[in-house]
Structure 1
Amino acid sequence: MTITSHASDAMVAIPFWLEMFAVVAASISGVLVAREHKLDLVGAVALAVVCGLGGGLLRDMTLQVGNVYILNQPMALPLSIATAAIIYIFPAIVDKPEKLIPLLDIISVGIYAATGADKALVYGFAPAVCIMMGFFTAVGGGMLRDGFMGVVPGIFQRTNFYAIAAIAGSTSYVCLVMSGIMSNVAALIVCVVVTMGLRWLSLRFDIKSPTEEDIARFLHRKK
């Protein structure tokens, strides 16, 4: 694999406000989990940072190319910390979090899936690796958060599409960009739409990821 010196210049240009929106949305979900578990302010900030920036850090540590986002973007870490402090002290700001946070969360997952896959694409990694990096970036923060809280990560449990939605979004981005059908920005929009669409369909029709199943017993019932 050859890494070109101009690779970083080719990365998808995401509007700054959209980039920060993803950080804020993911950070809010982290601080609300902290409040549910009665953590102090330090714990809330830690979970917010893990949720908002942990996926990108996991991606950058794995790829070991280019810059580390959490260090290179001067606004990301302060914004995540500020979001955590404000929501922790004034939780009423987030009215009806059970409805708002899932929406914000899945939008941020779609954005992160595209940006994670894009960085791997820029540096010439194989399509499967690009999809995996999109997935890591999208759900890595939530996975680390659950691990820190000592629970089985939600992406590994039988639930409405979340991890599957992230994989589908990342795959759509990689396929569209590599085929040249769309520009990076247009592919990012499609990625977010696919991710949100699958998540909505799974909630609307209560479709859940498959779990352990004895196929032999199933075939026996069919007879």
Structure 2
Amino acid sequence: MFDSIFFLDIFGSAVFAVAGTFKAIKHELDILGVITLALITGVGGGILRDLLLGDAPPAAFRDETYFIVCIISGLAAAVLASRIARVWKLVKVFDALGLGVFTAIGAAKGMEYGLGYVGILLTGAITATGGGMIRDVLVREIPSVISRDFYATASFLGSIALIAVVSTGAEEGPAIIAAIVVTTVVRLVAMKTGLALPKVKRIPWFRGTSEDSEG
């Protein structure tokens, strides 16, 4: 089971690294920028999760396979960008699967560390979305996970599925599969239907900032 999880983790890192590369292409960054965003998107969430759990050094630093895969995937995506763009819908499907994989691995690790339900939900979401959020901040964008994409919500639902399966007395394997399936399906449905959470409306006449509410 460990080998299967490791393979899935590497797969997710590679897919997310490609997404990071296309963000670098969008902002016309140099090769170092491509590698940086590929690495951050591919392993940033897992590193952040491990640091929060006190698992140091993080898994990506203990096994350089993660870094190597992200760098190779990022550079390959940069070279083949025009071809990859033609099959972007397929890439988004793999991205949804990567989201499910990272959610399942993160939630399972949170459960392994004895966290409560909220902690498990957060470790799943941080693993799945943390790298993308850091990437977006670096290129001065509002993270898509909190502005338009149904990423975090799909991740939360996947983690809930993992908790539900484990609570029935099932082994970790079926629970991880359930989390991957639920997260991936929810994300794909959201992509297909444009499903999104309601947004708050701007108050046209209000120009205040957070400082106005501080004592």
Question: What range is the shorter-chain TM-score in?
Answer: 0.7 to 0.9
Partner of 1:37: 27
Whether the 8 Å contact between 1:106 and 1:196 is mirrored in structure 2 is: yes
Q: State the shift of 1:103 in Å.
A: 1.1
Partner of residue 209 from structure 1, selected from 187, 197, 206: 197
Query: Take 1:170 and 1:134, find their aligned partners in 2: how far apart are those partners?
Result: 6
Query: Take 1:49 and 1:173, find their aligned partners in 2: how far apart are those partners?
Result: 27
Deviations 1:79-130 (A, max 9, x none): 1111112221232452524312211111111111111111111111112101
Whether the 8 Å contact between 1:202 and 1:208 is mirrored in structure 2 is: yes
TM-score by length of 1: 0.83
% identity of equivalent residues: 27
1:188 aligns with 2:176: yes
Q: State the shift of 1:18 in Å.
A: 2.2
Query: Take 1:207 and 1:123, find their aligned partners in 2: how far apart are those partners?
Result: 33
Whether the 8 Å contact between 1:131 and 1:174 is mirrored in structure 2 is: no
Partner of 1:122: 112
Cα separation, partners in 2 of 1:209 and 1:200, compared to 1, 3 Å: same
Partner of residue 101 from structure 2, selected from 104, 107, 111: 111
Matches within 5 A, 1:24-173: 24-65=14-55, 68-94=58-84, 96-157=86-147, 159-173=148-162
Deviations 1:144-201 (A, max 9, x none): 11011111000111x3522110111112112322432x32222112111111221222
Whether the 8 Å contact between 1:24 and 1:80 is mirrored in structure 2 is: yes
Whether the 8 Å contact between 1:26 and 1:52 is mirrored in structure 2 is: yes
Query: Take 2:201 and 2:77, find their aligned partners in 1: how far apart are those partners?
Result: 42
Whether the 8 Å contact between 2:136 and 2:143 is mirrored in structure 1 is: yes
Deviates more, 1:202-211 or 1:29-38: 202-211
SS at match of 1:94: helix
Residues paired across the two proteins, number: 201
Whether the 8 Å contact between 1:26 and 1:104 is mirrored in structure 2 is: no
Q: Which runs of 5+ in 1 are unaligned?
A: 1-11, 215-223
Q: State the shift of 1:202 in Å.
A: 2.2
Whether the 8 Å contact between 2:34 and 2:74 is mirrored in structure 1 is: yes
Matches within 5 A, 1:7-26: 13=2, 15=4, 16-26=6-16
Q: State the shift of 1:13 in Å.
A: 2.3
Deviates more, 1:83-92 or 1:125-134: 83-92
TM-score by length of 2: 0.86
